[in-house]
Structure 1
Amino acid sequence: MGVQGSGKSTAGRVTAARLGLPFIDGDDLHPASNKAKMAAGNPLTDEDREPWLTVIGQTLAAGMEQGEARVIACSALKRRYRDLIRFFAPAVQFVHLDGPQELIAARLGQRNHEYMPAALLDSQFATLEPLQADEPGMRLDVTLSPEDIAEAVADALSAAGR
């Protein structure tokens, strides 16, 4: 989880490969209306995000029902968003890729996203409620390499017996 440009998809792919799990990019689960709204430079509202977060939670739950954990990259910016995902998938563990807005803005200047303009970064940071100590998961610095992120996740899951 994290704001755009934090490295969720890249780290997610590497982590999934490290753990031998399928990777799903949450961007692919957005309805067309959400993508169009963001492409027009408009931030999503809680109402826009709720169906998308429901699909993410249900996707995680479906994997668990099949005996298969999954790695999904998604913003999950607010605690209530994470709570909704956990409603469907109570065993979910979040990895919050956290870093300074200036660094992430610089990263965004070097990429071209299909529908997520860099201008939305301010709204994402305004919305962000960092992962708290009482939530399942960990916060990791965005300056870590994707391989180091994957290793930290694998170590934490191993230590937790997962």
Structure 2
Amino acid sequence: MDPKVIVLAGTAGTGKSTVADILLKHHSSKYPDAKFIEGDTLHPPANVAKMSAGIPLGDDDRWGWLEKVATYSSATAKKHGLCIVACSSLKKKYRDFMREKCPDTTFYFVFLYGSKEEVFRRLEKRSQHFMKANMMESQFKDLELPKSDEPHCCIVHIDHKSIPEVQNDVREKVVALFAEN
């Protein structure tokens, strides 16, 4: 079985972790042991300290984290068939890097995209996360949504949608991505 990693991508505040649960349930018949990894838990302490202090991460801060996310999710997919990981994957070069690190695993990037206004509204309600609304400008500045020629990628718009609507859209897009192979 070809190991598959579904990367729920996008800026903070788009609902990546919330959507993961429905994907696990949806794929449980074919992948009963599929796992979810919250990519933020793989950040090194220096990155967490930086973000907690309100300092956005740069590329140099992200490479080691992205390698860990890629290799850990790939190893999990090899063991269980499917791994779902929440990881911002904001730039194309980050997505390419993850694919290159684990060429024997297929990475599917599902971007949850919301307007700045929607994401800021959601983040203002969060209190237990190190990513605060004032750091979002850097994420939107770095955001490179996938183009149609980027393999195994799709975008799900979240503005003005309920969580069940977003989850349904994601489920449909993932089914379509899997059918491409």
TM-score normalised by L of structure 2: 0.82
Kindly indicate which of the two structures has a greater share of residues assigned to strand: 2
Q: What amino acid maps onto 1:151 in structure 2?
A: R
Distance 1:113 1:64 in 2: 29
C-alpha contact 1:15 1:149 (8 A) present in aligned 2:
no
Q: Look up the match of 1:15.
A: 23
Once the 2 structures are TM-superposed, how far is the Cα of residue 66 of structure 1 from its aligned partner? 2.4
Residue 41 of structure 2: aligned partner: 28
- Listed one character per residue, the Cα deviations across residues 65-105 of structure 1 (whole Å, up to 9, x for unaligned) are 32522000010000111111111234101001112111111
Q: What's the counterpart of residue 156 of structure 1?
A: 176
CA distance in 2 between partners of 1:31 and 1:83 (Å):
21
1:49 maps to which of 62, 69, 75: 62
Matches within 5 A, 1:119-158: 119-135=134-150, 136-143=152-159, 144=161, 145=163, 146-158=166-178
Structure 1 residues 110-119 or 147-156, which shifts more? 147-156
Residue 109 (structure 1) aligned to one of 119, 124, 129: 124
| Structure 2 segments unaligned to the other structure (5+ residues) | 1-8, 29-33
User: Residue 117 of structure 1: CA displacement?
Assistant: 1.4
Q: In structure 1, how many angstroms separate the alpha carbons of the residues matched to 2:175 and 2:71?
A: 26
- TM-score normalised by the chain length of structure 1: 0.90
Contact 1:18 1:150 (8 Å CA) reproduced: no
**2:93 is matched with which residue: 74, 80, 105?**
80
Q: How many residue pairs end up in the alignment?
A: 161
2:23 is equivalent to residue 3 of structure 1: no
* Structure 1 residues 39 and 23: CA distance shift in structure 2, 3 A: same
Instruction: Please name the residue that 2:31 is paired with.
Output: none
How far residue 27 of structure 1 moved from its aligned partner, in angstroms, is 0.7
State, as a whole percentage, how many aligned pairs show the same letter. Answer: 35
Please name the residue that 1:99 is paired with: 114
Say if 1:92 and 1:158 are closer, same or farther in 2 by CA, change over 3 A: closer
CA RMSD across the alignment = 1.7
Q: Is the 8 A contact 1:53 1:85 kept in 2?
A: yes
Deviation at 1:156, TM superposition (A): 1.6
